[in-house]
Chains A and B, each alone.
Chain A
Amino acid sequence: MKVTFPHLGSLSIVLTGLLQDFGLEVIPPPPITKKTIDLGVLHAPEFACLPLKINLGNFIEALELGADTIVMGGGTGPCRFGYYAQVQREILQDLGFNFQMIVLEPPQGQVSKLVDKLKILCGNKRPGEILQAAITAWYKIKALDKLQGEVLKCRAFELEKGATSKAYEAGLSFLQAARTPAQVKTGLKKGLELLAGVKQKINKDALRVGLIGEVYMLLEPFANLQVEKLLGEMGVVVERSVYLSSWITEHLILSSLRLPGGLATKKAAAKYIKQFVGGHGRESVGDMVRFARRGFDGVIHILPFTCTPEIVAQSILPIVSRQEGIPYLSVSLDEQSGEAGFITRLEAFLDLLKQRRHKTQNQAFKLATARR
């Protein structure tokens, strides 16, 4: 059995290690390139969202390398992601590939089905070994999130363009090699040290921008045209609303157990939208409110073209922007999106944020002097 899975940001580092620890032969899909997207677009439905197309491209490339088992996530709706695997399987079958697809999703009362699937993956490993592997994987996810969070803070102040990204790549390779929680810890430490060693400049006027939107688009740099890197290198401190670890706890673990998660975000969204609308729609609204209340200069909303839950959010964002007093830029991306146009839009948005900040600072200054 040769196992593969879809890419999602740095998830492949975690999954490769985890599945290998389960004693499986793993063929991770090649890194996403233009070719991956082209393959996906060629065979996927026209109006499917970009994540489905990229997933499909990943699968085709991995199957061509000899993989015969696909591990994929599922869901119970109403976001389209929950039905991805069903469509992707039919497409791959029609393309003549010979494979099995293991779809991991909330069991909805049929726990035995989920257990059967997990048994295929865990093979004949003892429960202790499985637990050990899972713990290591979780540590890795947390370490990756920590590293990424630091990168976002650091990049805006780097003296030499690209130095932070270089340190980050090195940090990733340490984590990739780690096979025990202790190794993960030292790997993270080394990575953070490298980041701390990046020469910094003083940038007192650095803008603070929050990223909100659909999870895949936020976590996969290839899909979001490296928005974090672009903004960071323009001297912007970026904060992302969702990380792999928070997404897994809220959307995979807690929701499968029917427990509430992300309460602070839901509470922040409640003034504008009380109902879950599928996917990450309500969270996008809540995250924008939270960024506004923390005094961010602006937010950027990223969604895949035709994403219904995010379109619901998009309809509500103008009101949030007005009432909470925070500018936003909503960008929907698909396989047609070009980097140059995207950069122009980002630059224009940042110019606007800068002007706005000057204006408020001047007003504050005038107020202060008038009082004197």
Chain B
Amino acid sequence: MSTKVGIPRALLYYYYYPGWKAFFQTLGAEVVLSDETTKTILDQGVRAAVEEACLPVKLFLGHVANLCAKAVDYIFIPRVISVERKKYLCPKFLGLPEIARCCLPKLPEILAPAINWGQEEDKTWAELKKLAARFDGRPAMLRCALQAATEAQRSYEARLRQGLTPQEILDGKKAPLPAGKMRVAVLGHAYNLNDHFLSLNILKKLRALGVEVLTAEMLPEEAIATGAKVLPKESFWTFGHKLLGAGNYWLQENKIAGLVLVVSFGCGPDSLICELIERFYKRQQQIPVLLLTLDEHTGEAGIITRLEAFVDMLRWREAK
């Protein structure tokens, strides 16, 4: 029987799952995902986490707890410090293995390679080697696994740029038909937007309202870089950079009818990044912005009302 590696369906899952899956499968391991988010899973996470942790971290812990019940041999919680030079991920990713270990007792062994491409490339290679050696000691296998992972990841990212959301690709769904000619951009972390429970299906709801939805993942890197150029100092968070770049790019391009900002309550980086985006949009006075804050108490009815009102307002503006 092959070794079972559990991957929580939360946080970086939405960015790197295809790569991770290919990596472990090439090494002969079986990849087990946690269940789709339910109220029970979120509640488990909320109970385990410290109160002030942000909603996605609480949900992540819920998914880790969910994996425990699936008799996995390992849980994969990489410590992703940086994926590019001079930029970091949010501090919560830097301490994620510790958070999981301290908040949830009796976990299976955690696989927590430190990924730090920006500062310690050699060490990152060594960590990956160590990780691969747990499954297959042959050095050639690491290369094979990495190659498979890179390919899977590339094709995933290519499909994202075709207008599919991470959720749609990961769930194996087909591309929806463009619903309308009005384009609304939704800006937020993929791990919030694509979890159907957490986001209360904001993307789907917008589409149901007859709107074509854009997200930052659909933009090529050059567009993000163009958008980020207007800043005197780039953001040192990889995701923050992406949000700022995408937000500014859409603003310059001026082809969207409205922008929906989705943040989770108390998100540290977003408190600054979204403030800047809001300010830039306000200065131009061209594109309306709706800010939605998510937490564990967010009610679906309230979100629907606000989305509907926003879309109505956009239509009214266009008709004028």
Contact = CB atoms under 8 A, between A and B. Distances in A.
Interface of A: 44-49, 74, 76-80, 82-84, 86-87, 89-91, 94, 103, 108, 272-273, 275-279, 281, 305-309, 311-312, 314-316, 318-319, 332
B52 A314 contact: yes
* Chain B CB within 10 A, most for which of A276, A307, A315, A316: A315
Contact of B237 (A74, A78, A272, A311): A78
Contact of A94 (B54, B95, B114, B279): B279
B20 interface: no
A83 B236 contact: yes
Contacts of A78: 88-91, 94, 236-237
Interface string B229-244: 0011101110000000
Nearest to A275: B94
Given A48-B275, A77-B88, A78-B90, A275 B267 contact: no
A275 B87 contact: no
B53 A311 contact: yes
A309 B88 CA distance: 13
A80 B50 CA distance: 20
Given A82-B236, A94-B279, A312 B91 contact: yes
B232 A276 contact: no
Contacts of B263: 47
A311 B52 contact: yes
A46 B271 contact: yes
Contacts of B81: 275
Contact of B279 (A48, A90, A277): A90
B215 to A, nearest CB: 22
A345 B305 CA distance: 41
Contacts of A305: 52, 266
Contacts of A279: 91
A311 B50 contact: yes
A281 B90 CA distance: 13
A83 B276 CA distance: 11
Given A305-B52, A314-B50, A277 B272 contact: no
Contacts of B86: 76, 108
Closest 9 pairs (CB-CB, A-B): A77-B236, A312-B95, A47-B271, A78-B88, A278-B91, A45-B275, A308-B268, A277-B95, A308-B91
Contact of B99 (A47, A77, A315): A315
* Chain A CB within 10 A, most for which of B52, B267, B276, B279: B52
Contacts of A277: 91, 94-95
Given A87-B276, A273-B98, A312-B98, A281 B91 contact: yes
Contacts of B87: 77
9 contacts: A47-B267, A76-B86, A78-B90, A87-B272, A103-B233, A273-B98, A275-B94, A277-B94, A316-B99
B309 interface: no
Interface of B: 49-50, 52-54, 79, 81, 86-92, 94-95, 98-99, 102-103, 114, 231-233, 235-237, 263, 265-272, 274-276, 279, 283
Given A77-B236, A278-B88, A279-B91, 10 more contacts: A47-B267, A76-B236, A78-B237, A83-B272, A86-B232, A275-B94, A276-B94, A308-B269, A309-B95, A311-B52
Nearest to A86: B233
* Chain A CB within 10 A, most for which of B94, B95, B235, B276: B95
Nearest to B236: A77
Contact of B53 (A94, A309, A315): A315
B102 A45 contact: no
A315 B95 contact: yes
Contacts of B49: 315
A47 B102 contact: no
A306 B271 contact: yes
Contacts of A308: 54, 90-92, 268-269
B95 A80 contact: no
A276 B276 CA distance: 27
B137 to A, nearest CB: 25
A273 B95 contact: yes
A258 B81 CA distance: 17
A80 B269 contact: yes
A271 B91 CA distance: 19
A275 B275 CA distance: 29
A89 B276 CA distance: 10
A315 B98 contact: yes
Contacts of A47: 263, 265-268, 270-271
A312 B92 contact: yes
A48 B271 contact: yes
Contacts of A306: 52, 266-268, 271
Contacts of B92: 308, 311-312
B84 to A, nearest CB: 12
Given A90-B279, A278-B88, A281-B95, A45 B237 contact: no
Contacts of A80: 268-269, 271-272
B10 to A, nearest CB: 16
Contacts of B102: 272, 315-316, 318-319
Contacts of A94: 279, 283
Contact of B91 (A79, A87, A108): A79
